[in-house]
Amino acid sequence: MVLLHGLGASKEDWAPVTAALGAQHRLVALDLRGHGGSDHTLEYSFALMAEDVVDVLDQLRLREVVLVGHSMGGAVAYRVAADRPDLVRRLVVEDAPPPYVRDRPPPHRPEGELPYDWAVVLAVAAEVGAGDPAAWESLERIEAPSLLVAGGPDSHVPQHLLAEVAQRIPTAELVTIPVGHDVHADAAKDFSQAVLSWLN
């Protein structure tokens, strides 16, 4: 089971669920580029992050993994599953559609030292706000059975978009755990049970 975190987080963000998930699966949690222990680079995009994940899986000779992504990590996971179906046996995405057009003010940098590259926040915000029709179309190429975990009305993510994702992926289920965007952190037991019961 390969875990991909959200924007501004790191592999440590999965701590609330690693004991439960790790009891049944060998876990590989990655720091996406610009986050945690991974390199800060000159370019950031969902496509580049997906290439990074594919490179890691190829180097580790991992195939048919359960790929789990939250938020930004979910957008990356969709790309990996669509482009490299040989790598992904099951797909779990937590409260994330592909990029969709939205009008939001540019984010303001918090003061002090950050555990991630601020440039990645600006790049991701711009990419999400512009939308990505090709990413939406690629959902139809995902062969892996997929589980979407929605955060419900308290999430900032429009929940109807998650329903649309579930309709576009040929084999997808949608479950809602109404605690907001960070389901795995705010309802760790419910999230773990939903994922593990679906996998079993």
Predicted local distance difference test score (pLDDT) of residue 126: 94
For residue 39, what pLDDT band results from cuts at 50, 70 and 90? very high
The CATH fold assigned to 2-199 is: Rossmann fold (3.40.50)
Q: What percent of the chain has pLDDT over 90?
A: 98
Q: What percent of the chain has pLDDT over 70?
A: 100
For residue 103, what pLDDT band results from cuts at 50, 70 and 90? confident
d(CA 166, CA 25) in angstroms, rounded, equals: 25
Asked if residue 66 lies in contact with residue 89, where contact means CB atoms within 8 angstroms, the answer is yes
Predicted local distance difference test score (pLDDT) of residue 14: 98
Domain coordinates of the chain in residue numbers?
Answer: 2-199
Angle (deg, nearest 10), helices 15-22 and 188-199: 30
Predicted local distance difference test score (pLDDT) of residue 106: 82
Q: Per-residue pLDDT tens for 156-185?
A: 999 999 999 999 999 999 999 999 999 999
pTM for the model: 0.97
Give the mean model confidence (pLDDT) for residues 99-110: 90
Predicted local distance difference test score (pLDDT) of residue 59: 96
Handedness of CA 16, 20, 23, 28 (dihedral sign): negative
Collapse the DSSP code of 64 into the 3-class scheme (helix H, G, I; strand E, B; otherwise coil) and give the result: coil
Angle (deg, nearest 10), helices 72-83 and 46-60: 60
Closest CA to 116 of 10, 4, 2: 10
pLDDT at 105 over 90: no
Burial status of residue 200 (CB atoms within 10 A of its CB: 0-12, 13-18, 19 or more)? exposed
